[in-house]
Structure formats: structure tokens, C-alpha cells
Amino acid sequence: MNDVAKYLYHKFSSKQRKWYPFIAVYYLTYACDFKCSYCSDGKGEPYYKLHSPIVPAESVISAVKAIRRNTSVMTLTGGEPLLHPDFGKIITEIGNMQFKNLLLTTNGYYFENYIDEISKSVDTLIFSLDSLNPQKSDKLYGMPNGTFDIIMGNILKADKLPNKKYQILISSVVTPDNISDLYEVYKFSKAHNFGFAASPQLVGVDPQEKLWDNHEYKEFFDYLISEKKSNKNIYGTKKYLSFMGNLTNFDCAPFTMLVVSPDGEVYYPCLEIGNLVGNIKDFNNIHEMKQLGLEKFGAPPACANQCHSACALTFSLLLGKG
């Protein structure tokens, strides 16, 4: 089913018995050697504390092939995906699957190790960057001094690489402590013609409590809205940025996404709620998985405070659920 048909299904179908994702998010590994203070799963557990066995490359490829049958857009993420020992082989194999858009998120520290494979396979290369202050960044990363310098060097190498396939996007997490830094991160992104995306720090599924009614936080997103007039590389519509800035509730549409764990287990209805409905490699199609999820866990709950994440908000607004 193409994206237009998926949109019409999600927008107008009353039964919603099938699962038609616009995008898949595959967690290649939960492993990460950084200890970013804001980074956690939907239950608030830091990724560096999560148990993450190494899934063999063959099993990873099998899971991604099953994902590819259901969507043409996938984000490969973690943890830190470049920590997988077979990352080079995996990204090359996935690059051959002809995703319409293959996105890769990374902290950037190990980018140089796989620069050739990434440049030939990835369409959107997403670097996490939350400050241009080296000391502050290293502290945010929970890493030794000099870590930021390596990451910044790799971002600049990624930008200058000839014949690269990817577009670069800088992704920033807005915390109570780095709001003033993000103006410079944005200006850096703009100067290099990178995409720029910002989202609030989440604690579990809720925005960090000090962001609520925070004038500086809202002012930053108002600034991005004003910049949107001249810079189309800012991620999201003005309405999207307003919802992020005001932390406005919205009606979630979790089945516009497909979220898969490293070993192929599918989250129902979403990562944040965390129910595992089965392994994507064991089912003929994900419609069967949705039916099983409905029977086992029931319909998705009407959450009190929806997660202000990029995918969740984007698709909800697209479907007029804001």
C-alpha cells in the first residue's frame, strides 16, 4: 500500500483492524557507552543500563527484510547503532534493500570507522548535538574531555565527504539546562545547510517537569517558528513547532509507526507502553500481529500526556488529530 492509501486508511477507516505504518524504527542495539543524562526508554530507564545482547547480523537482516515488506521508510537507531560489531556489513545490506528513506541516528563518535559504508547506504544521517560548548557537551555525554571535539570533527568530515548519498540533520534534545546553547547549535546547522530538529527531554513518556511553563523553553520554539519563514531545513511545520513549544496534548496514532527491538520483537502499540506482541520474523504480516495485540492487550489507551516525540506528533498532526 502506498503512502496516500495509508493516509486515507488512517484518516477515514472506522475499524482500524490493520497495521499500515508510514515508518519503522528499528533498534539495532540498546548498547551505548555514553551516559547522557536525558536519554532513556519509555519507562525512564537509561539505555546504557539496558541489557542488550548482540544480535547476529543474519538475524538483523532477516528482521529488516520483514520490516521492508511493510514500509519504505526506516530509522536505524539505538542505543548507539554503530556499536554493533557487524555494523558495516549490516548497513551495507540494508542499503541494498532500496528503502525510500533510510535514516540513521548516531552520537557521531564512531562515524569515521564506517564513513564509506554510511555514505553509500544512508539517506538521512542524524547527529545528536545539544551544545557547542566542549566542556558542557562532554558533561552531558557523561564522557571524558575531548569527546565533543571528536564528534564535531566527524560531523564536519561527514559534511565535506564527496559523493555522499545522505543529507545531514542535527537533532537536539531541549533540557532545562541547555536552552541557551541551542541557539548556537541551530545557527551552526543553518550555516552548513543541515536540517535541524528539536524536541523536549522526556522522562519516561512525559516532558521534564522543569520544561512546563518554562518561558525560555517556549521562547526557543517561538524563535524556530520565526526562522521557519526563511529556513525550510527546520524540521516540522509551524503548528508542529507550536505544539512542541507549548507541550500541547494531541491524539496519538501509534499504528502509523512500527517499532522493533534488536531481536525482532514488535512493540504494541508503541515503544513507550512497551507490550511485546511477537517477533516480526514469525508472522506472515503485521496485520496478524495487530490482531493478536488487540486480543491480548486491548485497544491502545487514551494516554493522558502523549509523548512529544517527532514521529508521534508528526503523524498525529498529519491526520488532523491535534
This prediction has a pTM of: 0.95
Which ranges constitute the DSSP H helices of 108-146?
A: 115-121, 134-141
Mean pLDDT of the residues in the chain: 93
The amino acid present at 48, given as its one-letter code, is Y
What pLDDT does 136 receive?
95
pLDDT tens digits, 26-70: 999 988 989 887 776 666 666 666 667 789 999 999 999 999 999
Mean pLDDT of 184-208: 93
Residues 322, 319: Cα–Cα separation, whole Å: 8
Average pLDDT over residues 203-229: 94
Q: What whole-number distance in Å separates Cα of residue 133 and Cα of residue 182? A: 10
Task: Give the contacts of 131 (CB within 8 A, at least 6 positions apart).
Answer: 137, 140, 178, 181, 182, 184, 185
Give the distance, in angstroms, between the CA of residue 261 and the centroid of all CA atoms in the same chain: 14
d(CA 143, CA 153): 16
Return the SS3 of 239.
helix
Alpha helix (H) ranges present in the chain?
3-12, 57-68, 87-95, 115-121, 134-141, 147-160, 179-191, 215-228, 238-246, 286-297, 310-318
The answer to whether residues 279 and 288 touch, using CB atoms and an 8 Å cutoff, is: no
Give per-residue pLDDT as tens, 103-124: 999 999 999 999 999 999 999 9
Query: DSSP string covering 170-185, please?
Result: EEEEE-TTTHHHHHHH
